[in-house]
Structure 1
Amino acid sequence: MGLDDIKRRIADAEVAAGRAPGSVTLIAVSKVQPPERVETVLLNGQRVFGENYVQEAQGKWPGWRDRFDGVELHMIGPLQSNKAKQAVQLFDAIHTLDRMSLARKLAAQIRDQGRDPLLFIQVNTGDEPQKAGILADELPGFLASCRDLGLSPQGLMCIPPEDQDPVPHFRLLRDLAAQNDLPLLSMGMSADFEAAIAEGATHIRVGSAIFGQRDYG
């Protein structure tokens, strides 16, 4: 495993699905990874990274952005409303817009800062009570409310239940995006990104398959 292997598998999956080469964006999930691993991936040319925690990202990415041109940073973890200011300052994309209180905070910060991060609405495709995300039948109303605030979400994101086949969830997300005229789909991780690409993913989130297992110690 490693970056080159993942890129090769992405390219093969694009061909198998009849997708255009390069139509899938690889987000290298660098949360809780040792700095030397992240630097190695940066030196190998990867420029799109995903982080779960605002404070962790604040502590490490400004320095790397000074050293490496073209870094694009994606917020892929739950976002507290009180971190909206820092998130808009730091991230180029936010994948976890999942409630109106956060939408209002993001709208205010986007207006005040003059920044325009790419926004994905997180959908709870498995209707799991412990998991964040808008329920599928709530999406049209939520999207309309976001647009009333001046936000322009461009895509949907999901994390399928761990104990289920992810493909029906990928298909549901794809269908919801098509019904609501949203062009981007953030779905698929290390274990299932090829299936996600087959179902139309535009952004996949891969961590351990690139960096190795995380050390939370």
Structure 2
Amino acid sequence: MAASSSASTPSSSHLLSQRLLAIRARMDAAARAAGRDPASVTLTAVSKTQPPEAIDAALATGLRVFGENRVQEAQGRWTDRRPDIPDLELRLIGPLQSNKAVEAVALFDVIETLDREKLIGALAAAQDKLGRRPRVLVQVNTGEEPQKAGVWPRDADALIVSARAAGLLIEGVMAIPPADEEPILHFALLAKIAARNDLSILSMGMSNDYEAAIRLGATHVRLGTALFGERNPSVAPSSI
């Protein structure tokens, strides 16, 4: 399916455009309050579970950076659209199984969820097989929550060293703070891990806390609900 705004109704497209304008204004204000250039912060539109008309409306606004949670779902959504959108950037923001590494490397420009040694090997092998080298972020479980993916903070440095040695293009770190804790502390911790490993990309901040994340140095904020509205209740919730 080619990218087009024709599939979206004027009302849905207008509503998304209005939300985007408000988000951009808040992002810019947060960046300026921190003495940063607003252009240094990228909005990643979390397109997982969104219907085709919502994707088309987002593309019609000029958005080109999209985050997906599952490889197979992203393949169905973007494989046909991609040839018509040369500046599209797809980012995997959900957990990645090692047996999906080849498919992920083939589709995504950025993989944000490297969190274990086994996955390093799988991604390195996939790179060699396909001759494609996506950028990679290490996901840090800043809250040390056992139910969540991500390397624990004390192990992050060693994982980064190992990933670099394997030939992965490590450019940054990503985190999802605990829902019931103050996110600023987690953003600050992630920023420290990035700084001591000479990493420039910080993917942190979602619909409820992206302004705080920007003030703490986020270069990428991942927005779903703030941009697209509340999810369909029939769709299972996720942590992103």
TM-score, length-scaled by structure 1: 0.97
Q: 1:166 aligns with which of 155, 176, 183?
A: 183
Identify which of 102, 119, 122 aligns with 1:85: 102
SS at match of 2:169: coil
User: Where in structure 1 are there 5+ consecutive unaligned residues?
Assistant: none
1:215 is aligned with what amino acid?
Answer: N
Counterpart of 2:207 in 1: which secondary structure? Answer: coil
What do the CA deviations read for 1:125-175 (whole angstroms, capped 9, x no partner)?
001111111111111211111122111311010000000000000000001
Deviates more, 1:64-73 or 1:175-184: 64-73
Q: Does 1:94 align with 2:111?
A: yes
Instruction: Provide structure 2 residue ranges, at least 5 long, that are not aligned to the other structure.
Output: 1-17, 235-240
Runs of 4+ in 1 over 2 A off after TM superposition: 66-69
Residues in 2 aligned to 1:69 and 1:90: alpha-carbon distance in whole angstroms: 13
In the alignment, residue 9 of structure 1 is paired with which amino acid?
Answer: R
Per-residue deviation, 1:66: 2.7
SS of alignment partner, residue 149 of structure 2:
coil
Mapped contact 2:210–2:221 kept (Cα < 8 A): yes
Aligned match of 2:3: none
Match of 1:28 among 45, 48, 53: 45
1:215 aligns with 2:232: yes
The more displaced of 108-117 and 159-168 is 108-117
2:204 aligned with 1:187: yes
In the other structure, the counterpart of 2:144 is 127
Distance (Å, rounded) in 1 between the aligned partners of 2:80 and 2:123? 25
Given residue 197 of structure 1, which amino acid in structure 2 is its aligned partner? I
- Write the letter of the residue equivalent to 1:69: P
Q: 2:222 maps to which residue?
A: 205
Q: How many residues align?
A: 217
CA-to-partner distance for each residue in 1:41-64, whole Å, 9 max, x for gaps?
Answer: 101110000000101100010222
The percent identity for this pair of structures is 54
Taking the aligned partners of 1:69 and 1:176, their CA distance within structure 2 comes to 33
1:115 to 117, 122, 132: 132
SS in structure 2 at match of 1:50: strand
Query: CA 1:69–1:4 in 2, change beyond 3 Å: closer, same or farther?
Result: farther
Give, in angstroms, the shift of residue 4 of structure 1.
Answer: 1.8
- Kept in 2: contact 1:3–1:41 (CA 8 A): no
| Aligned residues of 1:107 and 1:151 also touching (Cα < 8 A) | yes
| 1:41 alignment partner in structure 2 | 58
Which of residues 24, 28, 34 in structure 2 aligns to 1:17? 34
Q: Distance in 1 between matches of 2:80 and 2:233?
A: 23
